[in-house]
Amino acid sequence: MGPEPTTRAGETAQTLDRGLRLLHLVADAPGGLTVTEAAQRLGVARAAVYRLVGPLTEHGLVRRDGGGRLRLGAGVLNLARRAQPLLAEGALPALRRLAEQTGATAHLTVVEGGEGVALAVVEPSWTAFHVAYRTGSRHPLERGAAGRAVLAGRAGSAGPVSTVGELQPGAYGVAAPVLGVPGLEASVGVVALAPLDAGTVGTQVVTAAEAIGRALS
């Protein structure tokens, strides 16, 4: 007689769990991982890591570089690109409210490749002038309210961050991190050509970030 179905199901679930853990380990290692390092962190034998790497490589989620180190594959980027429209759609209602409330251009910024990327942008409908902010715009996390809010979120702060002229001369920005969404680093913010009331706008931005966090979680 063969193994019980419940036993096979348990083994399959364990393999899937290990494969996903391996994928997260590789994602968290900018310089890649050796098979030995991966085995040590997973608490399994090297042979088990090789068995996990095979399917992940076939699906393009993991690759081995010239030195044999495990790195993320292009398949992860393809999955991320497919997920981005869903993220943007979930954020749009809160962004629209924020843009109308503040009279400033509202945006959702996500972390991709160590940079901030504007994933969704909504302009206010009633203002004569506002900042043009293009979807897909990239910037370092260390510059601009959106990136600085992400860094603040990493440090455990959910409060608003304000900047002046860091990405565009004469532009004022306020942003807050989106917290509580597994696997997502993001912020919600507004940018305007005139000074923004840090108290009022900061509260509105935090409220929008919380609403988007609930929508995406």
If pLDDT is split at 50, 70 and 90, which confidence band does 77 have? low
User: Which tens digits make up the pLDDT trace of 90-124?
Assistant: 999 999 999 999 999 999 999 987 899 999 999 99
Classify 177 as helix, strand or coil.
strand
Mean pLDDT for the chain overall: 90
**Nearest-angstrom CA–CA distance, 38 and 49:** 7
Question: What average pLDDT score do residues 68-76 get?
Answer: 85
Taking the alpha carbons of 159, 106, 91, 185 in that order, is the dihedral positive or negative? negative
In this structure, what token pair is assigned to residue 116?
């901030």
Question: What average pLDDT score do residues 80-98 get?
Answer: 85
CA dihedral 15, 20, 22, 23 (to 10 degrees): 140
Residue bearing tokens 């608003």: 160
The neighbour count for residue 207, using CB atoms within 10 Å, is 16
User: Which tens digits make up the pLDDT trace of 39-60?
Assistant: 999 999 999 999 999 999 998 8
Q: Could you tell me which residue, 79 or 100, shows the higher pLDDT?
A: 100
In this structure, what token pair is assigned to residue 195?
């000074």
Tell me the range of 6-10, 58-62, 182-186, 205-209 where mean pLDDT is highest: 205-209
pTM of the model: 0.69
Cα of 64 vs its chain's centroid, Å? 24
Looking at residue 6, what is its pLDDT?
60
